[in-house]
Amino acid sequence: MHKSLKEDDTMSNNAYLSQGREVEIFKTAAENNLPVLIKGPTGCGKTRFVEHMAEQLHRPIHTVACHDDLTAADLVGRHLIGAEGTYWQDGPLTRAVREGGICYLDEVVEARKDTTVVLHPLSDHRRILPIERTGELIQAHPDFMLVISYNPGYQNLMKGLKPSTRQRFVALSFDYPAPDREVVILCQESGIDKQQAQQLVSLGGDLRRLKDHDLEEAASTRLLIYAARMINAGLPAREACTTCLAQPLTDEVETLAAIERLIQAYF
């Protein structure tokens, strides 16, 4: 395995290189019982950051990938039928509220509207979770923290978060790491040498500049890491870039050709 370049992260899977003040801000929010909203493009480090913070704060994390069928019951819990009749099973949100921990709702704008009803009393000063089905009213554990994230790029107007929801959160805006940091991340996550990482990061920068013209979403840090891993495993660099940085980004023949030209300028 590769060696972590960050001194205080001893080979953890959640090694996270901070981009600015986000670690301090998140900690301060956690200590003050405030929920956090993280927005940013795909593959820029949102999930990695939340997992890292959970570790730093010694809190368990309950992650829910939201989708358009996700209902309040998926978060809160439901009655199930067992051998001895029906019983209640807590959902991930309820578990975090009872036992303490971070409940992380990823791509929260995808979730159905009824989920916001349960989030509101939890994300303001009340910190309570009313469970309609059982009549229970749970006061959140002191270590309970609600974290939500979404990608503003995918959002359509209908799905955007309501102001009454947004305004219950401390909000952090994420973007791809600065080039020097992205180089460190690539080395750390893939084991390639610094010079190759620099080439990939420069190529990534060029691809990101293409974004507004031809690409729906720019080349993410995640994809740069994929390319770096493939190169590190011995795949020729051009092939790694085509399969990790060209094909995943577009189907358009002309855009693919433009990306190929960029790749060939670097490798």
Ligand X SMILES: Nc1ncnc2c1ncn2[C@@H]1O[C@H](COP(=O)(O)OP(=O)(O)OP(=O)(O)O)[C@@H](O)[C@H]1O
> What kind and span of H or E run contains 96?
helix 92-99
Closest CB to Mg ion among 148 and 203? Answer: 148
**Phi, psi at 87, each rounded to 5°:** -140, 160
15 binds, among ligand X, Mg ion, none (CB under 5 to 8 A by kind): ligand X
Residue 258: partners with Cβ closer than 8 Å, 6 or more residues away: 210, 214
151 binds, among ligand X, Mg ion, none (CB under 5 to 8 A by kind): ligand X
- Distance CA(221)–CA(201), nearest Å, equals 9
Shortest CB 124 distance to Mg ion, Å: 25
Cβ–Cβ < 8 Å for 100, 142 = yes
Nearest residue to 231 via CA among 186, 176, 178:
186
Shortest CB 180 distance to ligand X, Å: 12
Closest CB to ligand X among 5 and 170? Answer: 5
Where on the chain is the footprint of ligand X (CB under 6 A)?
15-17, 19, 40, 42-48, 151, 177, 185, 189, 221-222, 225
- Distance CA(102)–CA(58), nearest Å, equals 10
In the bound complex, which residue of the shown chain has the CB atom lying closest to Mg ion? 47
Where on the chain is the footprint of Mg ion (CB under 5 A)?
47
Closest CB to ligand X among 17 and 203? Answer: 17
185 binds, among ligand X, Mg ion, none (CB under 5 to 8 A by kind): ligand X
